[in-house]
Structure 1
Amino acid sequence: MADVKPTEINNEDVQNYTVSSTNDPKNMQELTQYVQTLLQTMQDKFQTMSDQIINRIDEMGNRIDDLEKNIADLMTQAGVEGPDK
C-alpha cells in the first residue's frame, strides 16, 4: 500500500503565519515588502507541494505500468491472450 504521511504542523510554521505587533509594517514601503515576502513564501510552499504531487503521480504511473506488465506476463504464462490495444 502507498506510504501516505499526514502533513505535520510545527511551531516554526505557526510562527511564520503569526503576525506580531513588532513586525507590523509602519509605512507603505514596509507593507509592500511584507506582502511580497508573504506571497513569495506562499509561492514557495505551493511549488513544493506541487512538486511532491507530480512526483507521486509519476510514481503511481510507474507502478501501474509495472502492474500491467506483470499481468501481461502472467497471462502469457497461463496461455491466455491479452486484450488488443
Structure 2
Amino acid sequence: MDGRDTEDPKQSTADMTAFVQNLLQQMQTRFQTMSDSIVTKIDEMGNRIEELEQSINDLRSEMGVDRSPSPSTPSKPKVETKSGDDSANE
C-alpha cells in the first residue's frame, strides 16, 4: 500500500480545516484591502467633484450669472391637454 491508509482521519480533517481557514483569512484580507482602496478612490472622486463645483461657481460669479438656473435643471415645456369631452364622443 502507499502509506496513506495508516494516516489518522482526524489529523487529515484538522489539516484540511486549518488550510481552509487560512485560505479564507487570506481572501478576507485581500477583500478588505480592495474595499479600502475603492472607498479611498470614491472619497478622492468626491473631493474632485466638489472642487469642480466650486470652480464652476467661481466662474459663474465672475461672469455675473449667480442666480441663473443650473443647466442640469432645464425648464419643462408646457403640454396642452385635451378635454375629456372629446374622448367621450368616440
TM-score between the two structures when normalised by the length of structure 1: 0.65
Residue number among 10, 26, 30 corresponding to 1:41 in the alignment: 26
Q: 1:35 to 1:83 in 2, by over 3 A?
A: farther
Structure 1 residue ranges, 4+ long, deviating more than 4 angstroms after superposition: none
Partner letter of residue 28 of structure 1?
A: T
Q: 1:83 to 1:58 in 2, by over 3 A?
A: farther
Gaps of 5+ in 1: 1-25
**Structure with the higher helix share, 1 or 2:** 1
Post-superposition shift, 1:39?
0.2
Partner letter of residue 39 of structure 2?
A: I
User: Per-residue CA shift, 1:8-65, capped at 9, x if unaligned?
Assistant: xxxxxxxxxxxxxxxxxx6011000000000000000000000000000000000000
TM-score between the two structures when normalised by the length of structure 2: 0.62
Aligned length: 60
Instruction: Pick the structure with greater CA Rg.
Output: 2
Among the aligned pairs, what percent are the same residue? 51
Residue 4 (structure 1) aligns with: none
Q: Distance in 1 between matches of 2:22 and 2:68?
A: 55
SS of the counterpart of 1:81? coil
RMSD over aligned CA atoms reads 1.8
Residue 78 (structure 1) aligns with: 63
Q: 1:71 to 1:33 in 2, by over 3 A?
A: same
